[in-house]
Amino acid sequence: MGVEVTGVGSLPHRDIADACAFITSTTTVGYIPQLPVRHPSEAMLVQWGDGLAGCGAAGAYGLLHGAPSGERDEATISARMFLESTEDEVIKTQATGPITLGLAMLAGGADSTRLWNDLVPDLIARIDEHIAVIRELAPNAAIVLILDEPSLTAWGSERGAHADLGLVREVLGAVMDGVSVRPGIHCCGDPDWGLVAELDPRWFSWDTASLGVGFSDRTEQIAAAIARGSRVMWGVTPTMLTPMPSIDAMLSRYRLAMARLVVEGAPLGPMHDDAWYTPACGLAGGTIGTAEHVMELVNKVVDEIHHADVL
């Protein structure tokens, strides 16, 4: 497929047609938008967790055990409108992963003794329902699926895990194995990337500015996963304008991470010739103007990487 530019998911737009036009004009691989500013049902926890494992959209953490579930139409309308308007040959989509959902549900009062047994099959079914809609409305498109797991930072390599690592592997692995499209994993923090690598994600999707000891201590495992077939989405630009590093600083972060992986035996081709590039995370936290500028910077970084000898 070669070098591509895509997004992480969320956007600040209120108008779905405007969001779709923005995606078309700033990327080479379209991604299904999530528009939490348009409607709270599109917020990442609510969109994927409302109605699962006995939890509804309520409470300080977005999901409350015992709360009634809401209507699903508002949670899926942006996705449907994007799919009805696109002719892309490849479509990227994303779903909130089970660890992030589960921790929010526990904070919302879910019973830890049964949560994971309830959540895993429910989430697999919801993701596969979403994949079926993509196949219905864009039958000729290849699908790239990413599980968004910001809460994996609780298991960074320097941190004392507040849940059993075996449970994390089991739950995340069960969802990855259970869905109909092999997913990648996105985290814009610094989790234990070796833990992720053990699960052979289809993609690593990370923020190069946040790669710390959770990455540097695990480059051997990550490189081995890339050698086995995992690919990389490089989150090369921050999502907010202040402070915004220089293009040279963004390139330096990318080069350093690449070099560390190559030294450990990762093949260069999947990380460079077939790499995808994104912002560090979703863009819903800023303005439309900020989102436009961030995507302009992503494309500038890609031009520098692939039209200048920066390796």
Q: Is the pLDDT of residue 282 over 50?
A: yes
- Angstrom distance (rounded) from CA 274 to CA 250: 19
Q: pLDDT tens, 65-113? A: 999 998 899 999 999 999 999 999 999 999 999 999 999 999 999 999 9
Domain count of the fold of the chain = 1
The tens digit of pLDDT for each residue in 199-244 reads 999 999 999 999 999 999 999 999 999 999 999 999 999 998 778 8
Q: How many residues would you count in the chain?
A: 311
- The predicted model gives 239-260 an average pLDDT of 91
- 311 pLDDT tier (thresholds 50, 70, 90): very low
Report pLDDT for 241. 74
Provide the pLDDT for residue 308: 60
Q: Which residues are paired to 55 by β-bridges?
A: 65
**Which residue, among 192, 266, 275, 184, has the nearest Cα to 225 in the 3D structure?**
266
Tell me, what CATH number does 284's domain have? Answer: 3.20.20.210
Phi-psi region for residue 265, left (φ > 0), alpha (ψ -120 to 50) or beta?
A: left
Enter the tokens of residue 182: 């092999």
Predicted local distance difference test score (pLDDT) of residue 61:
84
Q: Which residues are registered as beta bridge partners of 56?
A: 64
27-31, 140-144, 223-227, 243-247, range with the lowest pLDDT: 243-247
Q: What pLDDT was estimated at residue 161? A: 46
Range of the domain at 253: 4-307
